[in-house]
Amino acid sequence: MADLAPLLRAAEERLTALGVEEARLDLLYLAERAFGITLSRLRRADGVSVPQSAIADFQALVDRRATREPVQRILGDWEFWGLTLALGPETLIPRADTETLVEAVLKRRAERHRPWRILDLGTGTGAIVLALLSEYPQAFGVGVDLSPDAAAVALHNARSLGLADRASFLAGSWADALAGPFDIIVSNPPYIPDADIAALAPEVARFEPWRALAGGVDGLDPYRHLAQALPLLLSQGGLVGFEHGADQGPAVATLLRAAGFRDVVTLCDLGGRDRVALGTHPG
């Protein structure tokens, strides 16, 4: 057996020197995986001993983090809305900010037992639609992604969460293959201006799929397309909810209003930044 505290200290110094932010927390997640010790026990690392045989596994995970691979990708799964979601090379890591969109939809459509028909465009891991299905027990959800591999990961997640009998996932471009009507349409499309991607943190620029990030010259291409396409797919009074970048609130709201959406509002994430646009369509 070996003392964990000095191992963690050395790894933290190494990762911090390489520019990794919050290295300590990442290391606790990696240690939890390598040593099978709970996070709460690891937070008080003094006095924790670990088997010599697992130290090489831990160091291998730290080596991966040292290349700036995100801890979520190293672990292979991540939590969103209390649900554990598997990740794949083609899926974005689900972000806590995206829970703002889930929360906003739940507030606007508070009847939990209605058989809502939900569409999630650019579904990735299925995070948004699966979170909504977990809250609406009678709802049915469709998730679409341009990446067939992402759609397969989302289906896998639906199965492991016991939601697959109310969810369907397909590969395609936005809603081009769909007719509707849907009561709720959500999307967290790619919204980073193409030219800005290279300057993002290496965890994002090098390890997130390009097609999950790149939103065209100004980052707004997907909203332009979706604002035009979605009115035809929504039921009367149907709700649309978009996640967007912190500086895109006014532009996305303007696109929605121009496409005939009403009651358009912009909502902030937990950091107080514009993050979500909601609107309804008269049909």
Ligand X SMILES: C[S@@+](CC[C@H](N)C(=O)[O-])C[C@H]1O[C@@H](n2cnc3c(N)ncnc32)[C@H](O)[C@@H]1O
Residue ranges at the known binding site for substrate: 188-191
What span, in angstroms and rounded, lies between the C-alpha atoms of 35 and 83? 23
Pair 14, 62: CB distance under 8 Å: yes
Judging by beta carbons within 10 Å of its beta carbon (0-12, 13-18, 19+), is residue 27 exposed, middle or buried? buried
Q: What are phi and psi of 123, to 5 degrees?
A: -80, -25
Stretch of 41-49, 71-79, 116-124, 233-241 contacting ligand X, by CB under 6 A? 116-124
**Which residue in 280, 170, 166, 191 sits closest to 230, CA to CA?**
280
| Rounded Cα gap, residues 37 and 46, in angstroms | 13
Q: Which stretch binds ligand X (CB under 6 A): 13-21, 55-63, 123-131, 133-141?
A: 123-131
Choose one: 55-63, 110-118, 187-195, 263-271; the region binding ligand X (CB under 6 A). Answer: 187-195
Residue type, 94: P
Of the candidates 251, 97, 256, 258, the one whose C-alpha atom is nearest the C-alpha of residue 188 is: 97
Binding test (CB under 6 A) with ligand X, winner from 147, 248, 256, 278: 147
Tokens encoding 134:
């977990």
173 lines the binding site for ligand X (CB under 6 A):
yes
Among 70, 141, 189, 238, binds ligand X (CB under 6 A): 189
As measured in angstroms, the least distance from the Cβ of 58 to ligand X is 28
Phi, psi of 22 (to 5 degrees): 50, 45
Query: Would you tell me how many other CB atoms lie within 10 Å of the CB of residue 114?
Result: 12
Provide the minimum distance between the beta carbon of 71 and ligand X in the complex, in angstroms, as a whole number. Answer: 16
Q: Using CB under 6 A, which of 188, 255, 275, 276 touches ligand X?
A: 188
Residue 23 CA: distances (Å) to CA of 11, 42, 49, 167: 8, 14, 21, 37
Give me the least distance between CB of 203 and ligand X, in Å please: 15
Which string of x and - marks every residue 20-59 that binds ligand X (by CB under 6 A)?
A: ----------------------------------------
Minimum distance of ligand X from residue 209's CB (angstroms): 6
Judged by CB under 6 A, the residue of 66, 146, 251, 264 near ligand X is: 146
**199-258 residues near ligand X, rule: CB under 6 A:** 211-212
Our finding on whether 144 is near ligand X (CB under 6 A) is yes
The binding site for ligand X (CB under 6 A) comprises 92, 94, 98, 121-125, 127-128, 144-147, 150, 173-174, 188-190, 211-212
